[in-house]
Structure 1
């Protein structure tokens, strides 16, 4: 969970003891987390590890699900969507999939393209790395502006 990870990084940086971690962690709570903590019986937590486990158990459903490469293959250029907008939308989604390789991104991006000038240029001269797609798209978009 992101909140816990950020706290643990700060605690490590500041060399917090186990007891200090427990006291400081609770000060980062708001809303549902604060309500949950307030309902715990006094003395219910004996270590930060126990606090951490209870917290994770309580808020596990709040955890963001890691997106996989498969989601990239579901991204398709819309009929009325210019190349620049499709590229921006694809990039935004690709940032959520840090494990995706250059090759996977390139394959997913090209499979989502509509049949047009850029698609035809890829058919004539294929590209296997996503960075190369970005470079060629930039050239194509600049060329279109000059026309």
Structure 2
């Protein structure tokens, strides 16, 4: 995959041209280009990509477990992820639920702390589904 790196100090146009040239050698699928791009950023340039987590939103019928898994997968593609931004993005993308109300009240310092608390809510959500199925 691309050997080019960008740290925000060099010529951005030259970097983009180099990145495109490298990617064309490997694939022409846009989704791959988008996934690989953040891994080529270093230093201050890697901070740019933290904002892309804001676009990860829980779907209407998506369980908390599935949303957390999808969010975590996206977060893992971002080098040097800023934890405060990640927690804010996680909260922002949640549907109106008990876990979101919890995050609003608390100030969790890291994504790992938020995921640990989410696990408690996931267990509760899944227990309620099990109970409602057995009551029918």
Same fold (TM > 0.5):
yes
Distance 1:71 1:142, change over 3 A: same
Aligned to 1:60: 22
Task: Tell me the equivalent position of 1:89.
Answer: 70
Q: Tell me the residue number matched to 2:102.
A: 121
Q: Specify every segment of 5 or more residues in structure 1 that has no aligned partner in the other structure, as ranges.
A: 6-55
Q: Is the radius of gyration larger for structure 1 or structure 2?
A: 1
Structure 2 residue ranges without an equivalent (≥5): 5-17, 25-32, 40-48, 129-136
**C-alpha distance in structure 2 between counterparts of 1:132 and 1:110, whole Å:** 13
Report the number of matched residues: 96
Q: Show structure 1 runs of 4+ deviating over 6 A.
A: none
Do structure 1's residue 105 and structure 2's residue 76 form an aligned pair?
Answer: no
Q: Supply the RMSD in Å over aligned alpha carbons.
A: 2.6
Aligned counterpart for 1:72 among listed residues 53, 56, 69: 53
Query: Cα distance, 1:127 vs. partner?
Result: 2.2
TM-score (norm 1): 0.55
